[in-house]
Every structure is written in C-alpha cells, then in structure tokens.
C-alpha cells in the first residue's frame, strides 16, 4: 500500500517504485494541503492507482501508430506523472491558468495543457469514494445511490472563469456567461444533504443554461422509473419538476 513519510526530504513510495520529490514546486504542492486539498498520503494513493493507467495509455498510443524507430526511443516526457497529476489537481481546485502552471513547473504551456487533458479523464473515471469500498463513477450510479439510501441530493451549476477563446474559433461567444458577463465554463455538481460531493459533470461553455445541462446529462431519464429521489435545486432548474415531481 502506498505510504508517505514527511521529513527533511520527502519520498512518495508506490509498489516497486520510489519517487524522490526534489524540485521546489513539487515539494511545495505536496507539503501544503491548501494547494490541492489532499494530504500527501492521498496523493501517493492516486499515484499508485492512476499512474500505471496513464503509462499503459501512453504505451498503447505509441504502439498503435506506424513507427520508424523502436517504442520508447526519442524525446522523453518533460513532466513525470506525479507532476502531471499535481498540475491537474491545482488547476481543478483553484482554476489556475495553464500559463501560470507552466511557469511554476518550468515547461511550455502546451505541455501543461496536454498533461491536464491526459490526467483529468483518469480522475473522472476513478469516481467519488463515499464510503469504504463504495465508489460512484457515473451519474446513474449517483442517482441510484440516493434512491437506495433515501438521502436528499443538492444540485447546482458552478462556473470557472477561463481565457477568452481565440478570435475565429467556432462558437467563441458560447463561453460568455450571461450571469457573470465573463468567459467561463460550467459544470453541474451533485452533493448529498451534508455537502459531500457525489458527481461533477464534464464542463460546458458557460452560456449553457442549468436546466439544459441537466437534460443533456439525462437527469430526467435517470429519475424516471426508479425509486423516488428528492433533489433540491434553485430556480435555474425550474421545469424539471413538471416531468417528475420528486426531481426538484
């Protein structure tokens, strides 16, 4: 099992591998829980669980295309997996831009963009752990959990400010939030009554209305035909309740 020891030097141990945290950026992120919201032990567990999946994906990508040289030859990754994971966690928690993270880790902006694009789906696939041995991975599983446990859910959309899309980009204006009058993306969050996170949807351009986003995720479909589920929502979801009274 992955463990972490804190001292003058920091080591993160995963089975059969030892990573020495030597650079300042990595050590600073891991040592202060406020940066990622996770303890060093949890980060070590993520490295142990998701790291092999990332390496498998990279290997499969290399082997799937015609090559003129052996697999593994050529330039190496500028960021090892743990740095890619940390950059993604900081971005998700604080909305730090890719430019800022690139300066922090001493790489090009495109490297950070590629790293977040690779790691974020792996974190999403991992799902949310709600109890020992119980992990919810899909929206349908979350709704079924609320219905089976008789718990109340709380749903709302949250916006994260982003850089204005480049001129000429298709659907550029869709990123402008009608509420905050800024360029942003929006995600739908579902928690239980105590505020414990159960589901976070993929991001949509901020012009997408909350009720539209909920319909695209199939909220009404998941609520139909199953056990009664009580979900609290604000006026942005008004109209869903007409299809199923217990949905709002």
pLDDT tens readout for residues 224-240? 877 788 999 998 888 87
Q: What radius of gyration, in Å, describes the C-alpha atoms of the chain?
A: 21
DSSP track, 9-56: SEEEEETTEEEEE-SHHHHHHHH-HHHHS--HHHHHHHHHHHHHHHHH
pLDDT at 16 over 50: no
For 225: left if phi > 0, alpha if psi spans -120 to 50, otherwise beta; the answer is left
The pLDDT of residue 74: 58
- The average confidence (pLDDT) of the chain is 81
What are the boundaries of each domain within the chain?
3-126, 130-247
pLDDT at position 243: 52
């Amino acid at each position: 099992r992955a463990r972490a020891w804190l001292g003058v030097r920091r080591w993160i141990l995963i089975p059969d591998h030892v990573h020495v945290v030597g650079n300042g950026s990595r050590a600073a992120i891991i040592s202060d829980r406020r940066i990622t919201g996770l303890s060093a032990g949890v980060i070590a567990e993520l490295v142990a669980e998701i790291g092999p999946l990332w390496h498998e994906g990279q290997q499969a990508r290399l082997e799937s295309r015609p090559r003129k040289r052996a697999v593994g030859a050529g330039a190496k990754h500028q960021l090892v997996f743990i740095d890619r994971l940390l950059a993604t966690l900081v971005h998700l928690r604080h909305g730090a831009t890719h430019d800022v993270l690139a300066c922090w880790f001493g790489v090009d902006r495109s490297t950070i963009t590629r790293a977040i694009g690779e790691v974020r789906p792996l974190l999403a696939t991992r799902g949310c752990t709600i109890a020992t041995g119980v992990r919810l991975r899909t929206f349908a599983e979350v709704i079924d959990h609320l219905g089976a446990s008789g718990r109340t859910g709380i749903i709302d959309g949250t916006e994260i400010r982003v850089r204005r899309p480049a001129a000429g980009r298709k659907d550029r204006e869709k990123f402008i939030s009608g509420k905050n009058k800024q360029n942003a993306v929006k995600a739908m969050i579902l928690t239980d009554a105590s505020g414990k996170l159960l589901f976070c949807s993929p991001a949509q351009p901020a012009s997408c209305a909350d009720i539209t986003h909920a319909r695209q995720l199939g909220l009404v479909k998941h609520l139909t035909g199953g056990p009664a589920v009580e979900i609290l929502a604000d006026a942005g979801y008004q109209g869903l309740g007409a299809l199923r009274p217990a949905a709002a």
